[in-house]
Amino acid sequence: MAVGTTRKDQKSTDSLSATRPVSPDEVRAEVRKFWQVFSAKSKTEFEEFYLPSATVFAANAPRMERARLMVVRRARELFGPKSSVGAKLGSVDVQILGTDLAIASYPFHYSVTRTLPNGRRYRLDVPFGRATQVFQRDPDGALRIIHEHMSSADPVASQELPDN
């Protein structure tokens, strides 16, 4: 999916996608799209990956949060002009749980420069990240995340960056 093309636009062209069983290749492609959109810092497209009721455990968060709150926070801290997001994915393992439900599990290396509301900037590097995302096909045929759990094999440390 090209950045700037909404998932609804893409899925509406495939009238059979709502009834087609989910496949491992489709889930892997969705994971790659997720990170492309996240790295491109497109809030609208990023938000479309999650069902409104989705829950998320971030790698450095002490508790679960609703996806819609996480999207607002990530947009504020990570999608601004002085922030950056990058990731390199490992092999994506997919478990099919039903015709419309699948789990993707994979390692990743995640680097981010985040800008806090007070203007301070921090660099985070997560070389040994782990992700589990549960995807469910919605009524329009799009695969959407209903639960996401990201963690790190090592403690996540951030480094404050000097003012520019």
* Sign of the torsion formed by the C-alpha atoms of 36, 46, 21 and 8: negative
* CATH classification (class only), 21-160: alpha beta
What does the domain layout of the chain look like in residue ranges? 21-160
- Six-digit token string for 64: 């679960």
Measured CA to CA, the distance from residue 55 to residue 69 in angstroms comes to 10
Distances, alpha carbon 25 to alpha carbons 30, 36, 96, 125, 164, in Å: 9, 17, 11, 28, 43
Measured CA to CA, the distance from residue 78 to residue 106 in angstroms comes to 22
* Residue spans of alpha helices (H) in the chain: 7-12, 24-40, 43-47, 67-78
* Sign of the torsion formed by the C-alpha atoms of 32, 37, 38 and 44: negative
Note the pLDDT of residue 18. 65
Give the rounded distance of the alpha carbon of 116 from its chain centre.
20
- Six-digit token string for 163: 């003012």
Considering the entire predicted model, what is its pTM?
Answer: 0.85
User: 3-class DSSP state for residue 2?
Assistant: coil
Instruction: Tell me which residues of the chain have a pLDDT lower than 70.
Output: 1-18, 164
Residue whose pair of structure tokens reads 């782990």 in the numeric block: 130
Note the pLDDT of residue 157. 78
